[in-house]
Amino acid sequence: MRTKNIKIVKDKLDDKNYKIVAIVGSISKNSYTRKSLNIAVNEIKSHDNFSVKIIDPRDFDLPAPGSGIMNESRKRLQQIVGEADGALLATPEYNGSFSSIIKLVIENLGYPSELSGKPISLLGIADGDMGAIKAIEALRGVCSHIGGYVLPNATSVAHINQKFDVDDNCIDEQTERRIKRVGAELVKYISRFVDKK
């Protein structure tokens, strides 16, 4: 199955019942995090009444934590996440934890966080044998601390550098199924427990 990178083209989420925001925890040009996230995003979009907005940090000029700056990028980020019914966060594992990029996004969501009270699914990727288990557990703790409802279906993918071909197609069926399940479980939870806006 071929997946393509999806970029933000407008700030308003599509006019459907349920709105999901998907946050890319990487700014790498050839990001496996982005490639993996797109699989889950396409799964979510395959369900009726669901739309997805991808937050690509490369499209935002986010200030450093503690700077006190409220620029247009930060306002736009908070608006997009605030409108969403749920969130999907994807991160690579760096030095035994999640990326500083996804932490920067979280820190710019305000206090109380725009993620507070929202169901959240987590996806982690890594090149090593252990996958992104440590990154996911650390990110789970942060998301819970800011008031998010972290779903138990977090997925860690090991050896991610072996899972895609040069055209960004996932070439491992089991990996593709596991990543799709992250999106499907978020859809299932929101369909059952989140009131339509």
Q: What is the pLDDT along the chain (197 residues), one digit of tens a residue?
A: 444 443 333 344 445 589 999 999 999 999 999 999 999 999 999 999 999 999 999 999 999 999 999 999 999 999 999 999 999 999 999 999 999 999 999 999 999 999 999 999 999 999 999 999 999 999 999 999 999 999 998 999 999 999 999 999 999 999 999 999 999 999 999 999 988 65
Domain architecture of the chain: domains with CATH:
18-193 (3.40.50.360)
Please give the distance of CA 177 from its chain centroid, rounded to a whole number: 17
Strand, helix or coil at 11? coil
| H or E element, residue 89 | strand 86-92
In this prediction the pTM is 0.89
The C-alpha torsion from 183 through 129 and 1 to 165, rounded to 10°, is 140
CA 71 to CA 50: how far, in whole Å? 29
CA 139 to CA 173: how far, in whole Å? 26
Q: List the one residue out of 34, 30, 10 whose CA is nearest residue 90.
A: 34
pLDDT of residue 3: 40
